[in-house]
Amino acid sequence: MRAKLKEMGEPWGALTEPRKFGNAFQRKSVLRKFRSDELVALPEKHQARLNPDLMVTRQDFVEVALPLRWTCVNPVEVIFDGADAVTDAVRPHDPEV
Enter the pTM of the model.
0.50
Reading phi first (left if > 0) and then psi (alpha if -120 to 50, else beta), residue 7 is in: alpha
- pLDDT tens per residue, range 45-85: 999 988 989 999 999 888 877 776 667 888 788 878 888 88
Residue 19 domain-assigned? no
pLDDT of 11 > 90? The answer is no
Structural domain including 40 reads: 24-61
Distance (Å) of CA 64 to CA 24, 41, 79, 83: 6, 30, 10, 11
Indicate whether 70 and 57 sit together in one domain: no
How far, in Å, CA of 28 to CA of 61, rounded? Answer: 6
How far, in Å, CA of 70 to CA of 73, rounded? Answer: 8
Indicate whether 69 and 97 sit together in one domain: yes
Domain count, the chain: 2
Residue 80 domain-assigned? yes
